[in-house]
Amino acid sequence: MDASGRDQMSDILVWAELRDGRPSGVAFELLNKATDLAPAQGGTVSAVVIGPGDCRACAAEFIAHGAGRVFVVEDPRLALYQAEAFTKILCRLIAETRPGVVLMGATSIGADLAPAVAARIGTGLTAHCTDLHMEDIDGRRQLVMVVPGWRGNLMVKIVCPEKRPVMATVRPGVLEKGNPDPSRTGEIVSIPADIGEENFRARTLESVREPEEGGLEQAAIIVSGGFGFYEAGGVSLLERLARAIGGVTAGSRPACDAGWIPETRMIGQSGRTVSPGLFISIGTSGAPHYTTGFAKAALIVAIDKNPKAPIFDIADFGIAGDLRDIVPALAEVLESER
């Protein structure tokens, strides 16, 4: 409880990440979730946006998405993510506003920034959550942070009963964005960055966008491979099938770790979330960490040699067999029809 007797869990602060000067999708997703959680506890939703300038237009969008107050921190040196400076700004704001919950996107930047802030202010952080909700536990209202665990076979509920604020990062694409309501009103509060050269010990000089060989999010057909390609010596069969069917390739975590598929094309909780018309998953067991990335595909086809693999539980069509027999046979038929 705070001095006014209110449960400190009630006020939520969302770090609203910008990408190329525009709000990232996950910022809207977090605000939508926060507007579900905070009012039910009698609390408020605030957002903080950090950028080189022109942040006020974004602040208006965050208000339309549910923020009652948006803290704007503008400084020309903050055009690109600067770890030390962003950490200092957020820690200071948290100390001054004392939210009960701090939410960030589990993006590459969020995954760097959140632990730095949590360590600096001495609180707990749950990373890569797939859901958040409030629950009465031990007679207290607690934020329950859900993450897939135990090699993806269990959904684990984590609470942080002692420290405040509770901090969580949430995977982009797993929460609903909600619809903006332009009639919503809120307060925009400019606060000084208050950073010096000593806050740029490591400096981000430029960001380079990796060339995409075909956008995953826009693809109508995705052919995704897993560790089952080990016996095949790599994913050349996967690439052949993708070419034959007019799809693009992607992969599970082990396929990316093996270097067969670029990291940027990893599907799942720590990777990309896609919703193509057809998703073909080959040589993947079907761990929730992976399947969460394509749960909204219109049609899912799975190929795996283990007939009991969990991937068959979510597939619309399944073929149990060795991919070294099935994939070339499929590709041959498709190639002959071209």
Ligand X SMILES: Cc1cc2nc3c(=O)[nH]c(=O)nc-3n(C[C@H](O)[C@H](O)[C@H](O)COP(=O)(O)OP(=O)(O)OC[C@H]3O[C@@H](n4cnc5c(N)ncnc54)[C@H](O)[C@@H]3O)c2cc1C
Nearest approach, Cβ of residue 294 and ligand X (Å): 10
Stretch that binds ligand X, among 82-90, 176-184, 208-216, 251-259 (CB under 6 A): 251-259
* Of residues 10 and 284, the one with the C-beta less far from ligand X: 284
Residue with tokens 């919950």: 101
The reply to whether 285 sits near ligand X by the rule CB under 6 A is yes
Q: How many residues bind ligand X (CB under 6 A)?
A: 30
Q: d(Cα 146, Cα 144) in Å, to the nearest integer? A: 6
* Of residues 19 and 305, the one with the C-beta less far from ligand X: 305
Among 236, 296, 306, 332, which residue sits at the site for ligand X (rule: CB under 6 A)? 306
Which residues in 47-66 contact ligand X (CB under 6 A)?
A: none
The 8-class DSSP code of residue 262 comes to -
Nearest approach, Cβ of residue 312 and ligand X (Å): 10
Among 287, 297, 302, 330, which residue sits at the site for ligand X (rule: CB under 6 A)? 287
The reply to whether 324 sits near ligand X by the rule CB under 6 A is yes
Which residues in 134-193 contact ligand X (CB under 6 A)?
A: 151-152
Q: d(Cα 321, Cα 312) in Å, to the nearest integer? A: 12
Give counts: helices (H), strands (E), the chain.
9, 17
CA angle 204, 205, 206 (to 5 degrees): 100
CB atoms < 10 A from the CB of 292, how many? 21
Q: d(Cα 52, Cα 204) in Å, to the nearest integer? A: 14
The reply to whether 200 sits near ligand X by the rule CB under 6 A is no
* Of residues 188 and 320, the one with the C-beta less far from ligand X: 320
**φ, ψ for residue 191, nearest 5 deg:** -125, 145
Query: 3-class SS at 19?
Result: strand
Cis peptide before 165 (omega within 30 of 0): yes
Binding residues for ligand X (CB under 6 A): 128, 151-152, 226-228, 231, 252-255, 266-271, 283-285, 287, 289-290, 304-306, 309, 322-324
